[in-house]
Structure 1
Amino acid sequence: MTIGDLPDSNGYIYVEANGGLNQQRTSICNAVAVAGYLNATLVIPNFHFHSIWRDPSKFKEIYDEEHFIKTLKNDVRVVDRLPDFIMGRYDYNMTNVYNFKIKAWSPIRYYRDTVLPKLHEELFIRISPFANRLSFDAPPAVQRLRCLANYEALRFSSPISTFADSLVARMKEHSAINNGKYVAVHLRFEEDMVAFSCCIFDGGEQEINDMNAARERGWRGKFTKPGRVIRPGAIRVNGKCPLTPLEVGLMLRGMGFDNSTSIYLASGKIYNAEKTMAPLLEMFPLLQTKETLASMEELAPFKNYSSRMAALDYTVCLHSEVFVTTQGGNFPHFLTGHRRYLYGGHSKTIKPDKRKLALLFDNPNIGWKTFKRQMLSMRSHSDAKGVELKRPNDSIYSFPCPDCMCRANKTDDTKSSPAL
């Protein structure tokens, strides 16, 4: 089939993908699904510059744009820019284009009943912001396009993928003592995460000043609004505080990973790293990061671009023997699903019970034997789940089976779009 075999396009859809690397990935995949469902032409998504991520990268600097367009050509028209006859109608000013403000998790029928008529009328609509603007549950035709976009069409750009593959190879070389196998740990203890959590760690004056300053820089008064009450103790008991490097080390040692374990640590710049990382490095002397695996010169093209750095971490974690997530978020959300997709529905993933961890860490009377017994049980529970099927309201990006894995990617009954 060629693009010429697709029905005439109903118009152009332009979305602005907000957030970091994997939140943008959500936007891209959902945009492909919506465009295909509405038989619209998708303009390569624009990445919104975020005050926290501060990454000006364009789509083609993160992903292989040519591969993306080619992979989708039989299902969704994708163009890298709008034709002049369209932009001329709006004086080449995107702010003049009608912008749909769509509620989060809107069902696909909303796009059919509300967005499609406007698309017919205008021939071009803009949706900003677009992250999480499509319900997890959708008809097979929509889910199939999400799968195609996420697992086939989205491939990192050549500079990122080439360097990321070399990091994987180096990590395996450093893990020779373990037959090339390594454990990847996603640690979220960067300053912005620590600040946003509103948790208290060492509670010293320096930490208090640093966190207050970080919150003001990133969120400008959000945390100091009149009437807002922050309860760090309740946040911790509810398992919402990011794990410290020390806590991660204790958890892993309790789970049976000894000091000969090869660890890859996926993270941004750790808060107060010289102090906070010391115990983790002492417990796991074979720990590596992208900064230790590569020279400053090699990292230079990626260093000041948070999404490109995250893409490197994503790739190394994807190929690990075990993946350990220590905090919620889009990175483990996508990575867990991607690993399930690659490895037949299940791969070794440890997602600790952080509520239980908080109780254990805060218990001054607990002994090592009791703690270790709890950790081994937690690890066993994570590893023993087997193939997990997507349930209603689960994300297809975390649970790709059955929609993405347990039937052929293209079938006649899912090819047609109900919105046409």
Structure 2
Amino acid sequence: MVKQRNLSRSIISSSSSARFFSIKAISLYLIFVFAFTIWVLVFSSRNIQTDDQTHRQHQHRDLIDSEKFRPPSSPPKKKMRESNGDAQLWTPPFSFGLHPCVKPTPKYKEFSESDRYITVRSNGGLNQMRTGIADIVAVAHIMNATLVIPELDKRSFWQDSSVFSDIFDEEHFIKSLRGDVKIIKKLPKEVESLPRARKHFTSWSGVGYYEEMTHLWKEYKVIHVAKSDSRLANNDLPVDIQRLRCRVLYLGLRFSPAIESLGQKLVERLKSRVGRYIALHLRYEKDMLAFTGCTYGLTDAESEELRVMRESTSHWKIKSINSTEQRVEGLCPLTPKEVGIFLKGLGYPQSTVIYIAAGEIYGGDERLSELKSRFPNLVFKEKLATEDELRGFTGHATKTAALDCIISVESDVFVPSHSGNMARAVEGHRRFLGHRRTITPDRKGLVKLFNKVERGQIKEGAKFSNLVQQMHQARQGAPRRRKGPTQGIKGRARFRTEEAFYENPYPECICSSKNPT
């Protein structure tokens, strides 16, 4: 009986022991599964909007049939091993396998022959005209009209007399978009003398608006569009219309052979001489300062000159501007001195080569001296190109702006001092071509730091650099979806607060699928 009891106890003990080990094994397994799950979640949660990861940009694929995008410029023959610090300063952000996609979907309706015509006067500077032309091509497609080659703005601040073919490859523009819209160089003689409907199409309009505008064809064969900029909404358009806009801007609207050739030559010259460079769009020009009313750091005489210019320019609506408020709100372009402090704060060494993509800097060499004291290797197109090469560009600000555009798109790093038309267009193009490093200054945040430096509350150094770098971790040009309107703003005013389509054409023209579409 005792033996039986002991045997029972032994069996129970063994059973308990087995149960204990079984529970322990299950617990360990659950802990492992839990830990693995957490690791997967952390790894996979690297949101597509983060900008602080850096990798080599992927090789771009063919986009439409035989049409290929220009590959990045060749690196210099002598290449030094990069440190982690160098990589963070120069390497393109991680692109998550995203690539350009501009081919039409199966639902896309190609252009059909029409006896209706649209003429247009493109307004603004080079990049305002470029994006405006892309909009108007899409409008002509929606309204099923033949587009006459746009007339370029000759009344802007730059007073440039260039015509379309001086700036763009006209034949390529017509040919490359023939499946989307018919483009002709001038109106047929039989319709030249016919009355035209002169329209100021409403800004940021959708497809429905232009479908309604087709009622004009009942009375007119020609519609003249007074302005081309911002004719289409940024968001809520069919993907085929958005991709058409990208096909125009990134494929069809190529610069003229003379501009393209010199632009690429200057890029190769820069790369071969200095290796890598920053393209700085230094928007510290007279027209921008007058338009924004920004006079910080200027003399009283300079401030007065800008005020007179602003008040005498009829199409600039705001005449009285508080310069201090503008600067505090981050609405002013950074001064050359501020740009120097900013770039130094990011960690760029004094030896960094900076290409100045700009017109005439207000205040000239004296104003540039404070940037040059921090970064002496400033490069200008006038020094990079020969007099012979620039002869056809003299007096044509639009042509020289096109050179700046090419050199900026191809740069290792692009930094705009203000969020104007060129800054937005170049940033969007660089995103489209593989999210090349583009650093957009947080001007509002930087002004607070600059003011502290002026008051002696903080000095330029390690602490200042840490603050600048933290402020710009998510402003390096990494993939992210286009931002919508500011919350709380209603009506048409909300369109002004949206991120521009051409500043960030993701997701419509940048895809994550394995094959470009």
Q: Give distance in 2, aligned partners of 1:318 and 1:243.
A: 21
Q: Give distance in 2, aligned partners of 1:106 and 1:223.
A: 24
Aligned to 1:214: 309
Aligned to 1:400: 505
**Match runs of 1:189-228 below 5 Å:** 189-216=284-311, 218-219=313-314, 228=320
Aligned to 2:225: 127
Structure 1 residue 170: deviation in Å? 1.5
The CA RMSD measured in Å over matched residues stands at: 2.2
Report the count of equivalent residues.
390
1:62–1:156 CA contact under 8 A, matched in 2: yes
Q: Give distance in 1, aligned partners of 2:415 and 2:194.
A: 51
Q: Give distance in 2, aligned partners of 1:328 and 1:6.
A: 35
Indicate how the Cα distance of structure 1 residues 51 and 144 shifts in structure 2: closer, same or farther if over 3 A, else same: closer
Aligned to 1:416: none
Aligned to 2:442: 353
Q: Give distance in 1, aligned partners of 2:318 and 2:113.
A: 50
**Match runs of 1:72-221 below 5 Å:** 72-90=177-195, 97-113=196-212, 115-137=213-235, 138-175=237-274, 180-216=275-311, 218-219=313-314
2:136–2:231 CA contact under 8 A, matched in 1: no
Indicate how the Cα distance of structure 1 residues 39 and 170 shifts in structure 2: closer, same or farther if over 3 A, else same: same
Structure 1 residue 72: deviation in Å? 0.5
Aligned to 1:298: 389
Aligned to 2:167: 62
Does residue 257 of the first structure (1) align with residue 348 of the second (2)?
A: yes
Aligned to 1:417: none
Q: Give distance in 1, aligned partners of 2:449 and 2:314.
A: 32
1:19–1:53 CA contact under 8 A, matched in 2: no
Structure 1 residue 241: deviation in Å? 1.4
2:111–2:141 CA contact under 8 A, matched in 1: no
Aligned to 2:459: 367
Structure 1 residue 328: deviation in Å? 1.1
Aligned to 1:93: none
Aligned to 2:152: 47
Per-residue deviation, residues 357-392 of structure 1 (Å, max 9, x unmatched): 111111111122332111122343223x63122354
Q: Give distance in 1, aligned partners of 2:150 and 2:346.
A: 42
Which SS does the other structure have where 2:280 is aligned? Answer: strand
Runs of 4+ in 1 over 6 A off after TM superposition: 407-411
Aligned to 1:94: none
Q: Give distance in 2, aligned partners of 1:83 and 1:119.
A: 17
Unmatched 5+ stretches in structure 2: 1-64, 66-109, 485-497
Aligned to 2:72: none
1:37–1:141 CA contact under 8 A, matched in 2: no
Which range moves more in the overlay, 234-243 or 395-404? 395-404
Per-residue deviation, residues 157-209 of structure 1 (Å, max 9, x unmatched): 0111111111111211231xxxx211111111111212222222234233234
Q: Give aligned-pair identity as a percent.
A: 38
Aligned to 2:487: none
Instruction: Please report the TM-score for the alignment, with normalisation by the length of structure 2.
Output: 0.71
Indicate how the Cα distance of structure 1 residues 247 and 394 shifts in structure 2: closer, same or farther if over 3 A, else same: closer
Indicate how the Cα distance of structure 1 residues 372 and 103 shifts in structure 2: closer, same or farther if over 3 A, else same: same
Structure 1 residue 333: deviation in Å? 0.7
Structure 1 residue 409: deviation in Å? 11
Indicate how the Cα distance of structure 1 residues 110 and 410 shifts in structure 2: closer, same or farther if over 3 A, else same: farther
Unmatched 5+ stretches in structure 1: 91-96, 412-420
Instruction: Please report the TM-score for the alignment, with normalisation by the length of structure 1.
Output: 0.87
Indicate how the Cα distance of structure 1 residues 58 and 408 shifts in structure 2: closer, same or farther if over 3 A, else same: farther
Which SS does the other structure have where 1:48 is aligned? Answer: coil
Per-residue deviation, residues 140-166 of structure 1 (Å, max 9, x unmatched): 221121111011101000111111111
Which protein is bigger by CA-based radius of gyration? Answer: 2
2:296–2:324 CA contact under 8 A, matched in 1: no
Which range moves more in the overlay, 142-151 or 194-203? 194-203
2:145–2:181 CA contact under 8 A, matched in 1: yes
Which SS does the other structure have where 2:121 is aligned? Answer: strand
1:32–1:42 CA contact under 8 A, matched in 2: yes
Indicate how the Cα distance of structure 1 residues 280 and 32 shifts in structure 2: closer, same or farther if over 3 A, else same: same
Does residue 308 of the first structure (1) align with residue 413 of the second (2)?
A: no
Which SS does the other structure have where 2:503 is aligned? Answer: coil
Does residue 280 of the first structure (1) align with residue 356 of the second (2)?
A: no
Which SS does the other structure have where 2:219 is aligned? Answer: helix
Q: Give distance in 1, aligned partners of 2:301 and 2:409.
A: 36
**Equivalent in 324, 328, 331 of residue 240 of structure 1:** 331
The aligned amino acid for 2:480 is E
The aligned amino acid for 2:221 is L
Q: Give distance in 2, aligned partners of 1:408 and 1:396.
A: 24
Indicate how the Cα distance of structure 1 residues 123 and 408 shifts in structure 2: closer, same or farther if over 3 A, else same: farther
**Match runs of 1:314-329 below 5 Å:** 314-329=405-420
Per-residue deviation, residues 195-245 of structure 1 (Å, max 9, x unmatched): 222222234233234323433554599665xxx4x3221111100111111
Structure 1 residue 303: deviation in Å? 2.2
The aligned amino acid for 1:16 is R
Q: Give distance in 2, aligned partners of 1:295 and 1:327.
A: 29
Q: Give distance in 2, aligned partners of 1:347 and 1:105.
A: 28
Does residue 25 of the first structure (1) align with residue 130 of the second (2)?
A: yes
